[in-house]
Structure 1
Amino acid sequence: MATHSVHLKSSGDCPNRAQGNRHPPPLSPGDLISALPDAVIHHIFSFLPLKDVVKTSVLSKRWRCTWTSTTHLAFNGVRPRNHDASSFDFPSVIDSVLRQCTSPTVKKFHVTDLQYHEADRPKVDRWLHFAAGRRVEDLCLSLITKMWSMYILPPSLYCWSGLVRLEVSLCSFSLDLTISWPCLKVLSMEYAELSDDFLGRILKGSPVLESLELRQCWRMTNIIIDSTSVKNLLLIGANNCHLEKIWAPHLLSLHVSGMWHHRIFRLDDISSLVKADLVFSIRTFSLRDKGMCYDLLKEFFEKVQGVPIITIGGWCLKVLSLFEMKGVPSPLSKCQNLTLHTPVTQRDLPGIAYMLGSSEFLEKLIIHLNGLHVYKCMLDKEWKDHFNYDEEDFLCTRKGNFQCLAKHLKRVEIIGFKTNSFGSKHLLLLIKFLLGDTLALEKMIIKADLHSRNGQKNHQAAVLSKLLGVSRNVLTYRRASKNAKVIFDYPFKLLSL
């Protein structure tokens, strides 16, 4: 989002451009930019940060006040580098722009990273009143404040009939009000107190809602989604979230991430799911809690065994490694597209093996090497007890369990291959194994992330030299498929081997 480095002056004698798409004034020869229709200009504005929209006033006389009729207003409270805190008055910037706005309708109105204090309430009320009057369809209000001084959303918001997308963060809802959002398709709530009843009224009052995002919200215990329109659900855990159950038989996509304390919820009915992202962690402090969480994770995988697109990472993959080393049976999965977030270490290989063994119909495997943060204290003791094995033989001794290698796996992508990956023993072992035992493999694409230090050519050349060395090594690996190609994709050019 854009930052705003200047206070905007009064519009003065700028003509009112709210009279529709009026014809441009007579042009001087060659002044093509002034010939653009208003509709085209506004379309251009929709792709620009607001501060750049304002800068277009210098392009020509006709453009001097054109910015005042823009239909996309996005304000970001991050202080510009050339301003000190005392001179940057973000609310005044917003007030100045809104005073000069001449468009009768505004499609997009975003205010993000606003340092909110209770004294700012009248201003925020006034901004939302402006947005309602201009029939805003895309509204975002993301604040920075304390939990005990959150902005209380006005009653008018709950019956905003034209809203299509709503995103709020650190705002307080009145849980006893009725919701009427007949056009709302996307709803994102972050750091909000919700209740089962209020969430039910949201779903009832939003008949065309397609996507629901609950980011670190609390007080809910059950998420019951009987709406046939809601297809996507995103959940990010919170310290004080006590969610117990999800029932959503028409849901197509489920994303669960973040830190969940002591426990995770149960999946009751997700029978229509086609995409599941399980990249969460559970922080436990006792053996009893840990055992219960492991049991719930097993239930999770039993529930998603019919899902064709699965993403796994962080704590979940580490626990799957434990399952593999303990001999816990893996439920057969119909997964065809598997994404793993893992740095591929000794403690990750068993989890990768666990998923390969359960995914008989796997066609595409993606490995993001950036991985996800895991609190080591939760698993360290068990790792020490179970992870003493010979990496060289580990995958080979289990390849008979990997039916996908013999039948379906055609494409492997390894993303985020950095300089510290060049000498990774476990990653190179995995690459060698996949090339040597995947009979139907067509492409292995290794996408390198080779950012040079401030553009230093010497460093870039050294990195490329190391990459070429790795590529020559990989080129010598045996390939079970005669059609397999290894492609190193990196920022400088494409190297195909």
Structure 2
Amino acid sequence: MPPGGGVGGGAGAVLDRGDWRAQLPPEARERIVNKILEYLLRHHPVSNREGLQELNKIALRFEGTFYAAATSQSDYIWKISLKIWTMETKSQSTRPYALPSNPAGNSCEDSAGKGKILNTPPSMASINNGLCHQKRARLPPSNQNENQNPVDYISQLPNDIIAHIFSFLTTKDAVKTSVLSKQWRSTWTSNQYMSFSLPPGSSWNPKSFIAFVDSVLLRCTAIQVKRFLFDAPYLAFMQSSLDTWLQFAIMHDVEEVSITPHYWHYNIYALPQILFLCTTLVSLCVSQCCFSVFSAVNWCSLKILRIEYAELNDEGMVRVFSGSPVLEFLELKSCQGVKHIMVESKSFRELVIDSHEFRPGQGLMLKIWAPRLLKLRLLGNSQGGDFSLDEVSSLIEAELNFNMEICALDKVKARADLVKGLLKRLHHVMKLVMGSWCLQALSLMGARDMFLPSLECRHLILLSTAGHKRVPEAIAKILESTRLLEKLFIQMTCTPNSAIGLKAERAGCRVFAGEEFWNLVKWRIYQCLMHLRHVEIVDGGASLLAWEPVLSLLKFLLQNALWLDKIVINSTNSKSSQAFEPSPQLEVGRILLSHPKCSPSAKVILRYPFQGCPSV
């Protein structure tokens, strides 16, 4: 590997980024502790319960030390494996194996980026002394002579397990595993999962990076490459190198390809023609790449396609759809140039349009024709154009969570008509998600356009801005149309205007507006009240003042819904409540509990994430 850690230098170039501890399931840590305990019992057998408990404490402290010190999930697993191997061979005084070098003769740095070889961790005795200074029971000595007959348990792992471990690692980390055991010195060369990633902003040497990738591919002995991932900076002179790497993956029957170049000076990577003729490709994700060079498409196995920040055209998309007969999922994010999406495939199931770019001269209307489509999601900021659903008769789930600027009065009615037209084409869906912008557009409809088309929706999700004054009007129009509604979900998004704190002195004089409004529209939504059973509210930390519109709705439903089973209030607020001022969620729960209810079985449930806060 080249100096600087290979794929960009430093131990930060890992695949699993973000809060990896929150993503690690508790049962995974339990399995690792059990493995450590098995090792201790194998070398320190005990015959009583007290000895077993002492070994369990040591295993927990052993795992906890590396869990707290690790920088990623792969680093956590790698350090524990290295430590167990070191103790297994009893060779603290022996120099560990050096990492394999590339053709240039450079050796890999350690995980801290400070040396050429990995330093041997301390022994088990030193770890135990550092973790706990209290007196422990003496453990019985091992019956095995491990110094004469060391056993390499890591080398005994099945090849399938090793391949599964490699699937979670970057190629850089997979090369590092060569120090774990004698067998693993060259095991990484058969790795079927190639991941060359580097976080944006990291220091790197382009020539060293290219040499590292070339060295890895030259040593590769895998018959098939299941995954090829490139997520690193890209310069113009790297075009031929990236083409060669892709060709290598394609010649090895690659199934998953992900290309995310980080551009410097706005270089555009043109996808090679050979990629469009890859018959083994199952999943493809490309970002900031050029599609203008392809002439034919043969993706007979492709099921998942994601395209981000690309210039497309209708002719090219027709070739993509005709050459992808088993395509199931398509996502277009921040793409432009597409005016028609026409898919006749029976396998096509889900379409996501995120932040579509409408530009003059390229069409201000995106038309969707997909008779077999089951799920449609319109997301993000889509300025300057409209959506048209020509044929979506098979849809069972739809999400309208996009937004468009409304700055001129003459566009208010046009935006409201857009949402109303989309709902007309989605009248048959069973699950409907509506974003804050669509709700606001409906609330601006005049009396002449008040009534919406009848919807067959059973599950309705509303993403509302907390404190918006016209939220009740929009919700009333939706409830009036969803006469068979059974489950209502409202997520309140907290904004700076709606997060105004309530003074402590106002705690005793709260006035909730909106009850008169709901009594006036009761005759319009009475059919919805005949079927509604479940209501759930998710609060992102709104104040009690911002809760007023939604609270008035909850009180109305509690008093008029005949078969209401429960009202659930979920709080996601990260701020703990003050002792002198009860949280808004608790206050809302108390108000609802004391309010009359129509259904005898109706329950009010408050879920609060902090310890010590009672649940209602």
- Report the TM-score range of the alignment, normalised by the length of the smaller protein: 0.7 to 0.9
Could you tell me whether the CA contact under 8 Å between 1:450 and 1:463 is conserved in 2? no
What is residue 40 of structure 2 aligned with on the other side?
A: none
In 2: Cα distance, 1:151 partner to 1:87 partner: 16
| DSSP 3-state at the match of 1:212 | strand
1:4–1:76 contact (8 Å) kept in structure 2 = no
| Equivalent pair of 1:411/1:443 in contact (CA under 8 Å) | yes
Aligned partner of 2:420 in structure 1 is 298
Q: 1:330 to 1:372 in 2, by over 3 A?
A: farther
Report the equivalent of 2:433.
311
Flag the 1:86–1:145 CA change in 2: closer, same or farther, 3 A.
closer
Alignment of 1:446 with 2:569, yes or no, is: yes
Change in 2 beyond 3 A, CA 1:64/1:468 = farther
Please give the residue correspondences for 1:112-261 in structure 2 after superposition, counting only pairs within 5 Å.
112=231, 114-145=232-263, 149-174=267-292, 177-236=295-354, 237-240=356-359, 242=363, 243-261=365-383
| Paired letter, 1:106 | V
**What is the root-mean-square deviation of aligned Cα atoms in Å?**
3.6
| CA spacing shift, 1:212–1:329, aligned 2, 3 Å | same
* SS of equivalent to 1:342: strand
TM-score scaled to structure 2, two decimals? 0.66
| Residues 41 and 481 (structure 1), Cα distance of their counterparts in 2 relative to 1, 3 Å cut | farther
1:367 aligns with 2:490: yes
> Which amino acid counterpart does residue 217 of structure 1 have in structure 2?
C
Match of 2:10 among 5, 8, 22: 5
- Alpha carbons of structure 1 residues 295 and 32: separation in structure 2 relative to 1, 3 Å: same
Percent of residue pairs identical: 36
Supply the AA of the counterpart residue of 1:194: L
Structure 1 residues 42 and 478: alpha-carbon distance in aligned structure 2, compared to 1, 3 A threshold: farther
For 2:545 and 2:230, locate their aligned partners in 1 and report how far apart those are by CA, in whole Å: 43
Report the CA distance shift for 1:440/1:153 in structure 2 as closer, same or farther (over 3 A): same
Native 8 Å contact 2:358 2:385 kept in 1: no
Post-superposition CA distance 1:49-93 (Å, at most 9, x none): 66655555554444454444332333433158xx65679976566
What is the TM-score normalised by the length of structure 1? 0.81
The match for 1:16 is none
Q: Deviations over 1:190-233 (max 9, x none)?
A: 12222212111111111111111121222222222222221211
Task: State the 1:463 CA deviation.
Answer: 11
- Seen in structure 2, the aligned counterparts of structure 1 residues 104 and 321 have a Cα distance that, compared at 3 Å, is same
1:401 to 524, 535, 539: 524
Q: Which structure: greater strand fraction?
A: 1
Residue in 2 that maps onto 1:358:
481
Displacement, 1:325?
Answer: 6.4
Map of 2:604 onto structure 1: 486
Contact 2:9 2:204 in 1 (8 A): no
Output the CA distance in 2 between the equivalents of 1:269 and 1:180. Answer: 26
* Separation in 1, partners of 2:8, 2:579: 37
Give the CA deviation at 1:162.
0.4
Q: Distance in 1 between matches of 2:190 and 2:545?
A: 53
Shift of 1:481: 2.0
Task: Check the 8 A contact 2:513/2:548 in 1, yes or no.
Answer: no
Q: Which amino acid letter does the alignment assign opposite residue 426 of structure 1?
A: P
Aligned counterpart, 1:424 = 547
Looking at structure 2, the residues matched to 158 and 58 of structure 1 have their Cα atoms a distance apart, in angstroms, of: 39
Structure 1 Cα separation of the partners of residues 599 and 581 of structure 2: 28
Q: 1:258 to 1:62 in 2, by over 3 A?
A: same
Q: Could you give the per-residue CA deviations for residues 312-367 of structure 1, whole angstroms, max 9, x where no partner exists?
A: 10321111112276652111100011111112422222111111111011111122
Partner of 2:198: 77
Q: 1:475 aligns with which of 593, 603, 609?
A: 593
User: Which digits, 9 at most, give the CA deviation of each residue in 1:120-169, with x for residues without a partner?
Assistant: 21232222123213321111112233796311001101101100011111
| C-alpha displacement of 1:246 | 1.7
Q: 1:444 to 1:155 in 2, by over 3 A?
A: same
**Residues in 1 aligned to 2:595 and 2:207: alpha-carbon distance in whole angstroms:** 59
- The verdict on how the C-alpha distance between 1:326 and 1:68 changes in structure 2, with shifts beyond 3 A counting, is farther
1-structure distance, mates of 2:527, 2:184: 60
Report which of the two structures shows the higher radius of gyration computed on alpha carbons.
Answer: 2
Cα distance between partner residues in 2 of 1:439 and 1:4: 64
The 8 Å contact of residues 563 and 599 in structure 2, kept in 1 or not, is answered as yes
1:336 to 444, 458, 462: 458
Gaps of 5+ in 2: 1-6, 14-98, 106-147, 497-511
Unaligned runs of 5+ in 1: 14-26, 374-388, 453-458
Query: Partner of 1:385 in structure 2?
Result: none
